[in-house]
Amino acid sequence: MTFATPALAWLAAAVPFAVAALHLHDRARRRRLTRRLGELPVVGKVIASASPGRRLVKDALAAAAAALIALAAARPQIAGTRNVELHGLDLVVALDVSKSMLVDDVGPTREMLAKHLQVSRLARARELARAVIEELPGDRIAPVVFAAAAAHFPLTEDHLVAENFLHDLGPADLPQGSNLAEVFRVSRCLLRPDLYDDLGCARIGRRGHGGDRRSSRRSSAARRS
């Protein structure tokens, strides 16, 4: 066994000895005081009411408590190995595709310049979404695009499909506006199948919710890919 703070472990071991020394010192002091006062009747009554055994138990309990506190603070550790089973995360990556995302108030990136992409908030957001997905190997991703409504793709381990879904759908595929409440509802439905009935998730279907026919066709094409 090892300790994160060995000094506190040594302190825990020394506490009982320190308390025992204090107890013996206090006992000797009381005896000296008794001899000085003599055999007066009042002194005899006080001594008779005192209980050395009870004082000893009290000091022993105090020593044990202090030692245990110091031992816990030392953080005892047992060296060894154990098998830890890791599970991937289920994540929703939501992308705003409302017309406000077409504004070109962001600076061009190297990728935009290399691919001759139109500079816009949407292009930048797609870059960031792809970068996030690429940093999540082994996790399942549910891509969601939204404006006044939301379209989604079910949780998938195929990150390329998720990236294509976010790239293919745009402002022309969804009614315009900004409905964040619907985004959160669809996201919860995708992540919490146990709440499917409580959240009315049956309305989102398997091809998304709120998109037009073109959105549905593109979602189906993404699945087939």
Domain assignment present for 82: no
49 vs 221 pLDDT, higher one? 49
Beta strands in 79-183 (DSSP E): 90-96, 140-146, 150-152
- Range among 1-15, 113-127, 152-166, 211-225 rated most confident: 152-166
Residue 26, pLDDT > 90, answer no
Which pairs count as long-range contacts for 155-163, CB under 8 Å and 24+ apart, including other chains? 155/90, 155/190, 155/191, 157/88, 159/133, 159/134, 160/225, 161/222, 161/223, 161/225, 162/93, 162/133, 163/129, 163/130, 163/133
What domain range is 116 assigned to? 90-224
Based on the structure, what is the number of domains in the chain?
A: 2
Q: Are strands 2-3 and 150-152 parallel, antiparallel or unpaired?
A: unpaired
Rounded Cα distance, 123 and 112, in Å: 8
The reported pLDDT for the residue numbered 130 is: 92
pTM here is 0.51
Let me know whether 12 and 61 are in one domain: yes
Residue 215, pLDDT > 50, answer no
Place 5 in a pLDDT band, splitting at 50, 70 and 90. Answer: confident
Task: Give counts: helices (H), strands (E), the chain.
Answer: 8, 5
Residue 70 amino acid letter: A
Q: What is the pLDDT of residues 40-69, one digit of tens each?
A: 555 556 555 566 777 788 888 888 888 889
Let me know whether 72 and 95 are in one domain: no
Let me know whether 99 and 181 are in one domain: yes
Q: What percent of the chain has pLDDT over 90?
A: 21
For residue 14, the surrounding DSSP H or E stretch is: helix 6-37
Q: Collapsing DSSP states into helix, strand and coil, what is residue 151?
A: strand
Domain assignment present for 31: yes
Let me know whether 138 and 201 are in one domain: yes
Domain assignment present for 17: yes
Of 22, 45, 77, which residue sits at a domain end?
A: 77
